[in-house]
Amino acid sequence: MAHENEFVTIDRKIITRPFLFLLTVTIIGFVFIAIRYVKGIGAVSNLSDGYPWGIWIAYDVATGTAIACGGYAMAILIYITNKWKYHSLIRSALLTSLFGYGLAGLSVTIDLGRYWNLYNLFIPSRWQFNSVMFEVAMCVMAYTLVLFIEFLPAILEKIKGKDNRLSKLAAYIYPKLNNILIFFIVLGITLPTMHQSSLGSMMTIATHKLHPIWHTGFLPLLFLINCIYLGFAAVIFESILSSFGFNRKYEVNELSGLANIIPWLTVVWVSIRIGDLIYRKEISDAFSGDFYSVMFLIEFLLIFIGSIMLLNEKIRKSPRWLFITACLILFGGGLYRMNVYIIGFNPGYGWRYFPSFSEFMITLGIVAFEVLLYLIFVKMFPVLPSGHNTEVIVTEEVLEKSEKMAGRLEWQER
Amino acid sequence: MKKKSRREFLKTTAGLIAGTTVASVVNVEASEKNYTKDDAYSMLYDATLCVGCKACVSACKKTNGLPPVKGDFDKDGLWDAPKDLDSKTRTIIKLYKENEDNWSYVKQQCMHCAKPSCVSACPVKAMKQDENGVTFYNPDVCIGCRYCQVACPFNIPKFEWEKTFPKIVKCDMCKFTSLKSKGEPACTEVCPAKAVIFGKRKELLAIAKRRIKENPDNYINHIYGEHEAGGTNVIYLAAAQFEKLGFPKLDNESPATFTENIQHTVYKGFVAPVALYATLFFVAVKNREKREKDNERGDN
């Protein structure tokens, strides 16, 4: 379905200074991962029987997959609401989603105490349909595969352009895959709808451990809407950052379009959130000023301020402000998920949790690995928009800014 | 044209999602099923009878092959001094002391819920409830996700954090040891004060009620576990408020019921996901046709 010249491969050297930095962080992370496998989870983490889940689940899985929902959010926008003008952004969104989900999967295998028993998930007689975890596990695995298939055209385009045996095969598969791709695209919308809402349902079972500000029957719906606006914010974040880093033209027109959608979603989300708090008579808790209330207010204000800012057209047209507001939404929406998974979680009786240095390093290593793979892939495969099919309006302001930024980023070229 | 398809999408998809969510939330409030069984294996612990000898703790360790826990104070390793339930301690006796006159021992172990959250949470059936209402663990299938620990309202399942190949540890009423060979768990068998006794849930509940009736001044008028979390098979009598003895204040519904109602409503017969897929597919294909037509028009 894609126009072949819609996307370009970034023609740059792969080994750059940021590359080496990310590689170092990745290697450090993987050293700690190795220690975890030799000495056990207790040796590297501050996890306990009171807090069996820490940042590996709360950040890497529950929050990371939401930030990786760019592919999902863009697919809804492009294929369901038929906004084809955003199609040029789909591949980079899919790529970040693919790595986001793939590495969330990696985090899970690090976190799983008895990973060698994982095969039981594939034995139908062992399936436990009451378990939200089961639903999430199956859906996330399936979706990661779907993401790979959705991204496959980019890889095939690259291979078939070359002259070897593999390229013939690629040329043969490519049009066929394009014909059936729609089945996977729709699957790629259905699966996240299922597991992102289930990620919310997951914590409903902690009825009295999760603080009432967050524990509600609406968790699945809140998580679903949350991941869509986080997805859009992540696309804005990623696009601006890579335009900045690669010294390319900002996709201001498309991005401001996306930014325009976010407030609509957050308005619905905030209404459900507040309405539910009032309905359950927990609204006074939320504003009581204690630790939980402060966490709620931070989360709430970040989303609220970010959304209000995005209502302003000037902000939506400025890459810098777009970037700042996208960050506000990402932090606020991400904090919501962290609140649900650890910060608002209290098992009672003196249990405490704060992630250990090794836990942080493992999470950082995984994030660095994700960015590293992104940098390699955009330089190997046609991922970023070429700008040929788009109607980008480059304003004076944008040009001036991008030149300034390019100046600051000269080292990236070398 | 574009507006129409968008409206279609909003109507169908949003309707579908909102419908299932509202239905699930309504469902959650509507249903309160009773899962307790009269003939389930049960234990009754009477805190007013307990002498704090910890014979139950050592019998449990001996029977189930659990190692001692070394205390911080104990350089020579002379004591088994667990501070709390842990991966080496399936049951424990604690002392609650308000002042010199008001104090109480309290025994902790798995409550063996009638509708266990750990069983509902486990993705691979490593946590199971048998026909006698005993909740037990099978390490051979467990993937170590620890969702049971998150789900348990009593913080009972423990994990061997220090081990390279860890497993979950919790009381299984000696299902594979004492219950099998002697017909009752090790702790109830050895208790010299009969503070913890074994029996059928209905009988023990009757005994508990009779004790309160006969000696109302000795007890607070509450049998913990009769209704908590949908009812538990281990029930408690005490002279002090149960919150003070370290028990959580819980609803009369199992946390598992809350979550299962949501999941079962959303995924009933897998209809909603299939309907969602079909709807989305229909819209996506229509959009593609429209786009192709527009493109042709553009070319001409």
Confidence at A6, pLDDT banded by 50, 70, 90: confident
Q: Name the residue in chain A with its Cα closest to that of B6.
A: A81
A 95-154 near B (Cβ less than 8 A): 111-115, 117-118, 120-121, 126-135, 137
Cα–Cα distance, A6 to A234 (Å, whole number): 21
Confidence at B113, pLDDT banded by 50, 70, 90: very high
Q: Which residues of B touch A41 (CB under 8 A)?
A: 161, 166
Answer whether residue A3 shows pLDDT above 90: no
A 215-274 near B (Cβ less than 8 A): 217-218, 220-221, 224
Query: So what's the pLDDT on residue A414?
Result: 38
Query: So what's the pLDDT on residue A413?
Result: 43
Inform me whether the C-beta atom of residue B299 falls under 8 Å from chain A C-beta atoms: no
Q: Which residues of A touch B122 (CB under 8 A)?
A: 128, 131, 133
**pTM of the full structure:** 0.89
Contact flag B2-A82 (C-beta cutoff 8 Å):
yes
| Partner-chain residue, chosen from B125, B147, B164, that has the shortest CB–CB distance to A38 | B164
Q: Shortest Cα distance from B203 to chain A (angstroms)?
A: 30
CB B76 within 8 A of CB B68: no
DSSP-based helix, strand, coil % in chain B, nearest 5: 40, 15, 45
Q: Could you tell me whether strands A384-385 and B168-169 are parallel, antiparallel, or unpaired per DSSP bridges?
A: unpaired
User: Phi and psi (nearest 5°) for A222?
Assistant: -65, -40
Contact flag B125-A38 (C-beta cutoff 8 Å):
no
Q: Shortest Cα distance from B60 to chain A (angstroms)?
A: 20
Cα–Cα distance, A53 to A47 (Å, whole number): 7
Answer whether residue B118 shows pLDDT above 90: yes
CB A213 within 8 A of CB A286: yes
Average pLDDT over residues B118-123: 96
Cα–Cα distance, B15 to B299 (Å, whole number): 38
pLDDT digits (tens, 9 = 90+) for A74-93: 999 999 998 888 999 999 99
Contact flag B161-A41 (C-beta cutoff 8 Å):
yes
Query: So what's the pLDDT on residue B23?
Result: 60
* Bridge partners of residue B135, in order along the sequence: B129
Answer whether residue A174 shows pLDDT above 60: yes
Query: So what's the pLDDT on residue A407?
Result: 57
Inform me whether the C-beta atom of residue A35 falls under 8 Å from chain B C-beta atoms: no
Answer whether residue A404 shows pLDDT above 80: no
pLDDT digits (tens, 9 = 90+) for B146-193: 999 999 999 999 999 999 999 999 999 999 999 999 999 999 999 999
User: What percentage of chain B exceeds 70 in pLDDT?
Assistant: 88
Query: So what's the pLDDT on residue A391?
Result: 41
Inform me whether the C-beta atom of residue A208 falls under 8 Å from chain B C-beta atoms: yes
Strands (E), chain B: 41-46, 92-97, 103-108, 127-129, 135-137, 158-159, 168-169, 196-200, 234-237
Contact flag B151-A120 (C-beta cutoff 8 Å):
no
Contact flag B121-A205 (C-beta cutoff 8 Å):
yes
Whose structure tokens read 């490593």?
A: B126
For the record, the structure tokens of A406 come out as: 């390019």
Average pLDDT over residues B206-210: 96
For the record, the structure tokens of A175 come out as: 């049009």
For the record, the structure tokens of A44 come out as: 């590297």
Inform me whether the C-beta atom of residue B206 falls under 8 Å from chain A C-beta atoms: no
CB A20 within 8 A of CB A27: no
CB A195 within 8 A of CB A143: yes
Answer whether residue A401 shows pLDDT above 90: no
H or E element that contains B3: helix B2-9
Collapse the DSSP code of B183 into the 3-class scheme (helix H, G, I; strand E, B; otherwise coil) and give the result. coil
Confidence at B137, pLDDT banded by 50, 70, 90: very high
- Region for residue B13 given its phi and psi (left: phi exceeds 0; alpha: psi -120 to 50; beta: otherwise): alpha
Q: Which residues of B touch A129 (CB under 8 A)?
A: 267
Could you write out the three-class secondary structure of B190-227? HCCCCCEEEEEHHHHHHHHHHHHHHCCCCCCCCCECCC
Average pLDDT over residues B261-271: 85
Query: So what's the pLDDT on residue A390?
Result: 41
A 349-378 near B (Cβ less than 8 A): 349
CB A351 within 8 A of CB B84: no
Write the DSSP symbol of residue B42. E
Query: Over the range B155-181, which residues count as b (16 or more CB within 10 Å of their CB) and which as e?
Result: bbbbbbbeeeebbbbbbbbbbebbbee
